[in-house]
Chain A
Amino acid sequence: METGGTHIIKRHRRHGIEAFSKDKLQKSVVAACLSAGAHHGQAELVAKHVADAVEEWLEDRPEVTSSDLRLATAKQLKKYHADAAYLYEQHRMTI
């Protein structure tokens, strides 16, 4: 498991706490972009930019909830692909 420094408190707490994984986040964004009809190359590029931005946002946050992470990711994703962002926010992609 990657250690991103930030702890993610999972939904309803019963799912526990896990360390932030940039790789996992990036993959989930790729999946959202592909679901929204983006080309694979575009999805990868967008996912990289989004993951970089979210990682920067998490820099001074030792702990956030999975809901926070989802909203922060969707906010960044919206700049590149509004439809993917909508899917990401509404369908609770696995983080």
Chain B
Amino acid sequence: MTTHTFDYDLIVIGSGAGGSVAATIAAREGLRVAIVEESILGGDSSNWGDVPTKALLHTAHLYDETKRGDRFGLRTTSLGYNYPSIRAWKEKVVKQTGVGDNKKFYEDQGITVFMGKAHFLTPHEITVNRRHLSGHRFLIATGSEWIAPNIQGLSDVTYFTPRTILETIRPPKSLAILGGSRYGVEIADLMAIFGTKVYIIEEKSRLLPEFEKEVGDYMSAVLGARKEITVLTGSRTLSVSKEGASHRVLFTRGGAQKHVKVDAIMIATDYRPNVDIGLNNALVKYSEDGIPTDKYLRTNVKHIYAAGDVLGKRQDTHAALIESRVAAHNIIGAATMVPDYVAMPKVVFSSPEVAQVGLTEQEARRTHSHVRRAVTPLHIVARSNVSGQKDGFIKLVADKQGVIIGGVVVGPHATEIIHEISLAVRYRLTAQQLATTPHVFLSWAEAMRVTAQKIIGANS
């Protein structure tokens, strides 16, 4: 019988959230692992996405909160900021992740690193800078990239993406953000705090269309009430053109054509999975929308797996991390593990924060004959009083038996509080169980207990 020898047991293409975890797990189990990275080690999240964005948002929110500190008796008249220093903080944070551009981090774990663009030559072979590497198994974790929407004139002007705007020397005086998804909302929040006049142009009828309707409507109102932000939902961008040093963005809204004049434009609507890596040579089925896999994350070529954004659904980093772990498990042993997306929260680190998990009310009504729901505004809990913050709400969705099947938190620390609902959704906890669990007085989470109580009360 012919035995095949390969250079590596596993070759991981892409060192971001979808790839790094799998590489580390596999190496720890004794497999010979190589990782290939085209750009900077650590991938999108660590270098240009989550980490730098949240570092800047943290600074922005700190500044914003302090600016309004006079209502607490603080003197804030001389408060200011230095944007180059804020950028330096962001860069320090990225460096402190320890992953970015750090070959040694991987080599210390027994993973061989190849820098360059991987390209399949055959189902078991790739080329990286003309060096041919063979692998018994592969994990494709090449992520995705922002692409410009098909708007007249856009290719003739310079525009930002949520990635490149983080490198701007200073916030622009005015900014049109094409797309009101979570990426657009976070950048709008960030830039507006530092003095940019922001226009969010979103085609759908509300911001954050990927979230529960109440969330989008609420955030449209909250952000729109800020003088630095103009929310233009139900608007379709028609064209972009240069006018001197500015840009003219023409859009249609309510049947009428309107325009805004801005210094800068950022696109945050379309993205494309990075599938142009010779998949034809590997006989892997794919399309411009991504790589389809079975529930075990295997492509149609059973020794080639895929995880993360390359699958075609742009998800939060924690989803990619889970997929990477699952892929590693299935690569090392029998394919038995399946990613659990049921209790996977999606979040926005704006102010107020937004977090959602499980089914929306609309989704629940499509699949359940009887749905129970309750909403509690945060201003009724004691914490709102002591902190002076009134924005936000908690919503829970339950089935006929009171089992929690979804929920939303909008407000301070929403991205933390959501985990209680995630736990409830994952382990099918009931509203009764949530309502009877002690919640600390003066915590924001008290609103969770109140909401759960409302669900019980609504059925009695």
**Which A residues fall within an 8 A CB radius of B?**
7, 9, 60-65, 67-68, 71
Contact = CB atoms under 8 A, between A and B. Distances in A.
B130 A63 contact: yes
Interface string B100-117: 000000000000000011
A63 B119 contact: yes
B280 interface: yes
Interface in B79-131: 116-117, 119, 121, 127, 129-130
B278 A65 contact: yes
A84 B15 CA distance: 39
B362 to A, nearest CB: 39
Contacts of B121: 9, 63, 65
A68 B276 CA distance: 10
Interface centre among A9, A63, A67 (most CB of B within 10 A): A63
Contacts of A67: 280-281
B280 A61 contact: no
Contact of B129 (A62, A68, A71): A62
A71 B130 CA distance: 20
A34 B410 CA distance: 62
Contacts of B117: 60-62
B289 to A, nearest CB: 16
17 contacts: A9-B121, A60-B117, A61-B117, A62-B116, A62-B117, A62-B127, A63-B119, A63-B130, A64-B119, A65-B121, A65-B281, A67-B280, A68-B119, A68-B278, A68-B280, A68-B281, A71-B280
Nearest to B129: A62
Contacts of A7: 130
B142 to A, nearest CB: 14
Contacts of B129: 62
Nearest to A71: B280
Contacts of B116: 62
Contacts of A71: 280
A88 B278 CA distance: 19
B126 to A, nearest CB: 10
Interface string B278-322: 101100000000000000000000000000000000000000000
Contacts of B281: 65, 67-68
A9 B130 CA distance: 10
A71 to B, nearest CB: 6
A68 B281 CA distance: 8
Interface string B37-70: 0000000000000000000000000000000000
Given A67-B280, A67-B281, A61 B119 contact: yes
A63 B280 CA distance: 15
Nearest to A65: B281
A64 B278 contact: yes
Contacts of A62: 116-117, 127, 129-130
A26 B281 CA distance: 23
A60 B119 CA distance: 11
Interface string B247-288: 000000000000000000000000000000010110000000
B39 to A, nearest CB: 11
B128 to A, nearest CB: 8
A68 B117 CA distance: 15
A68 B127 CA distance: 13
B131 to A, nearest CB: 9
- Shortest Cβ-Cβ A-B pairs, 8 listed: A63-B127, A62-B130, A63-B130, A62-B129, A65-B281, A68-B278, A60-B117, A65-B121
A44 B127 CA distance: 33
B134 to A, nearest CB: 14
A53 to B, nearest CB: 13
B447 to A, nearest CB: 51
Contacts of B130: 7, 62-63
A64 B116 CA distance: 14
B107 to A, nearest CB: 23
B192 to A, nearest CB: 36
A7 B130 CA distance: 8
A78 to B, nearest CB: 13
A9 B126 CA distance: 12
Contacts of B280: 67-68, 71
A88 B116 CA distance: 30
Nearest to B127: A63
Nearest to B126: A63
A68 B130 CA distance: 15
Nearest to A70: B280
A36 to B, nearest CB: 23
A67 B127 CA distance: 15
B281 to A, nearest CB: 5
A62 B280 CA distance: 17
Nearest to A68: B278
B138 to A, nearest CB: 17
